[in-house]
């Protein structure tokens, strides 16, 4: 039993190498790390600059972060970019002047922030939890997003591409007459890609968060990475066997990639959370991953139960399509 399983693992590892999957994963690791360290952490944009036109000095308690201007024309030109906020206090009553972002909540936030700078003493300082600085926060967020993308999209494609090779060679059918179980055939691939994904996750985390921070969140990250890796590998397995050719697979991959990455960019990058997003299964996986990068395990028992059931369901589906593939004609 174990001898046969080791043979399957060895063969799958050779296929993985010949498919240049590890090279691709290594390339992604280098690319993501370079982007995070050389570009992303340097992209820190200041919060909305606030310009004040107050020729009669009607506002007494003004924050040092406010930039004073001498004319309405100057005020107008500074806010034209659509990011900065202007306050016109010519009449004695401060009025907000800004180019709308076309998003009501964002505009309200910008206006509230600008007003808060007019009376800084009255503002209440928020309680600070943890010791994250701004750079570390950025590193956690972007590393989490890259890892999620890598595991969801590239991991899915990796297993499917090796399986497509075997399918094209017709070799899957031979395994139907060998004294080896179909479960072992599936598990060997899953375990290999799981190990590869866990190694990738650990390296990406440690390289971009630093050794101390990286190691502190690694158990949580590995748990979530493992769940995502297994689920996506099974989806990839199913699609590769079920679909007759690579063209159809590529099309489905495109649809899935959009479907999977949508919540990442909505919830992760823009902070826009739509009402229906909680019904998106990948959103929960992404949020669990995000929390893992903060070193907390927010996912509850229900989450793990659903993941477990999904795994079992996908595994049974994969087994079913594998049996069908083995019985196919040449």
Interface residues with another protein (CB under 8 A) are 3-4, 6-7, 10-11, 14-15, 18, 165-166, 169-171, 173-174, 176-181, 326-327, 329-330
3-state SS class at 89: coil
CB nearer another protein, residue 7 or residue 248: 7
Smallest gap from residue 34 Cβ to another protein (A) = 32
Smallest gap from residue 241 Cβ to another protein (A) = 15
Starting at the edge strand that comes first in sequence, how are the strands of the sheet with 85-88 ordered? 66-69, 50-53, 85-88, 95-97
| Tokens read off for 55 | 């020729």
Smallest gap from residue 22 Cβ to another protein (A) = 15
CB nearer another protein, residue 18 or residue 100: 18
Smallest gap from residue 177 Cβ to another protein (A) = 4
The DSSP output letter for 244 is S
Smallest gap from residue 320 Cβ to another protein (A) = 12
| Tokens read off for 58 | 């009607």
SS3 of 270-326: the string is HCCCCHHHHHCHHHHHHHHHHHHHCCCCCCCHHHHHHHHHHHHHHHHHHHHHHHHHH
How far, CA to CA in Å, does 215 sit from each of 21, 106, 147, 275, 284? 26, 36, 16, 35, 23
CB nearer another protein, residue 170 or residue 210: 170
CB nearer another protein, residue 181 or residue 310: 181
Smallest gap from residue 6 Cβ to another protein (A) = 8
CB nearer another protein, residue 266 or residue 326: 326
Smallest gap from residue 273 Cβ to another protein (A) = 46
SS3 of 4-72: the string is HHHHHHHHHHHHHHHCCHHHHHHHHHHHHHHHHHHHHHHCCCCCCCEEEECCCCCCCCCCCCEEEECCH
Burial class (CB in 10 A: 0-12, 13-18, 19+), 189: buried
CB nearer another protein, residue 9 or residue 68: 9
CB nearer another protein, residue 216 or residue 320: 320
- Count how many residues are written for the chain: 330
Element (H, E) at 96: strand 95-97
How far, CA to CA in Å, does 4 sit from each of 87, 91, 171? 74, 85, 16
Report the chain's terminal Cα–Cα distance, integer Å.
28
Smallest gap from residue 243 Cβ to another protein (A) = 20
CB nearer another protein, residue 275 or residue 329: 329
């Amino acid at each position: 039993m174990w001898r046969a399983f080791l043979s399957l693992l060895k063969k799958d590892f050779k296929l993985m190498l010949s498919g240049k999957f590890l090279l691709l994963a290594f390339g992604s690791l280098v690319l993501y790390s370079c982007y995070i360290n050389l570009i992303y952490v340097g992209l820190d944009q200041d919060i909305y600059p606030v310009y004040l036109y107050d020729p009669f000095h009607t506002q007494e308690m003004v924050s040092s972060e406010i930039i004073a201007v001498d004319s309405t024309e100057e005020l107008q030109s500074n806010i034209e970019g659509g990011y900065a906020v202007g306050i016109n206090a010519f009449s004695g009553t401060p009025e907000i002047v800004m180019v709308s972002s076309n998003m009501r909540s964002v505009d309200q936030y910008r206006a509230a922030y600008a007003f808060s700078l007019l009376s800084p003493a009255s503002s209440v300082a928020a309680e600070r939890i943890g010791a994250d600085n701004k750079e570390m926060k950025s590193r956690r967020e972007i590393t989490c997003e890259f890892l999620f993308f890598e595991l969801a999209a590239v991991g899915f494609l990796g297993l499917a591409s090796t399986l497509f090779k075997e399918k094209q060679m017709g070799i899957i059918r031979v395994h139907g007459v060998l004294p080896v179980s179909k479960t072992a055939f599936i598990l060997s691939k899953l375990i290999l890609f799981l190990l590869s994904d866990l190694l990738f996750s650990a390296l990406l985390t440690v390289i971009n968060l630093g050794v101390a921070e990286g190691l502190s969140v690694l158990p949580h990250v590995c748990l979530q990475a493992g769940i995502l890796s297994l689920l996506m590998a099974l989806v990839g397995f199913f699609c590769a066997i079920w679909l007759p050719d690579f063209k159809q697979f590529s099309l489905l991959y495109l649809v899935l990639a959009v479907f999977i990455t949508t919540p990442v960019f909505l919830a992760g990058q823009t902070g826009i959370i739509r009402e229906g997003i909680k019904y998106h299964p990948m959103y929960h996986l992404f949020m669990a991953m995000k929390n893992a990068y903060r070193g907390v395990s927010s996912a509850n028992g229900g989450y793990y139960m659903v993941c477990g059931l999904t795994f079992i369901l996908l595994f049974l589906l994969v087994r079913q399509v594998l049996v069908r593939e083995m019985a196919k004609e040449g």
